[in-house]
Amino acid sequence: MTTADKASTKNRDIPSAERLIFALDVADIDSARALVNTLGDSVQFYKLGLEFFLSGHYFELMQELKDQGKKIFADLKFFDVPATVASAVSQLSRHGIDFCTVHGNDGMLKAAVEARGKMKILAVTALTSLDQGDLNDLGFQVDAQTLVLSRARRALELGCAGVVSSGLEVSELRSQVDNALITVCPGIRPIANDDDQKRVVTVTEAFANGADYIVVGRPIRAAADPKSAAETIQTDISACF
């Protein structure tokens, strides 16, 4: 089965241009606005994470993006007592966000799902910056794939819309868990990398394995021409479907 054949068997209703989520990981609003203006219509979906949250302009920029018709992924990885997670998710849901992440146990995920409103909850499985040595250090006496599959099963049972997972595990996730789960894959590297992402795949590999969305940051942000880099990735995505 070709990449296009495999990708076309699920979630056909996701517009191709929305499958690329750009990680707007910058420290201030001027840098963020400059990138958004540069990227223009090459990016339709933005991830706003912790770095930009601390700029103090998180919701201001979020509204500006929504006013432009962009989709928003709030990647704040909530991890706290369930009542606090529920309160945070409830407040976040008032802003018309599409996705948000929770990086916690069953109680936290359940609380988030119950407070989500129309927002989709994504459970973080295993960070793509972690390899087996890191998982061992953290006390996980299983391999990354086993951990991802276990957390994905729990997320589905608890009502999460999807998971954040490396593209390396998506194929097994699709075959052993459920195609209903949205799969969002960070750690995408169009070329070889030497940064802190360890469990990485290319754009084509991610979608061939069954990803719904990919998150790309540095390969676009650090490119000499960010818009051209985004457009190249969009072309690669279109070829998969």
| Cβ neighbours, 10 Å, residue 47 | 23
Between CA 241 and CA 228 the distance in angstroms is 20
Q: In the chain, what's the furthest Cα-to-Cα distance?
A: 47
In the annotation, is 77 catalytic?
Answer: yes
* Catalytic-labelled residue, pool 10, 77, 120, 227: 77
Give the dihedral sign, CA 42/191/181/73.
Answer: negative
Q: Which residues contact 76 (CB under 8 A, 6 or more apart)?
A: 49, 50, 53, 88, 92, 100, 101
Q: Which residues are catalytic?
A: 77
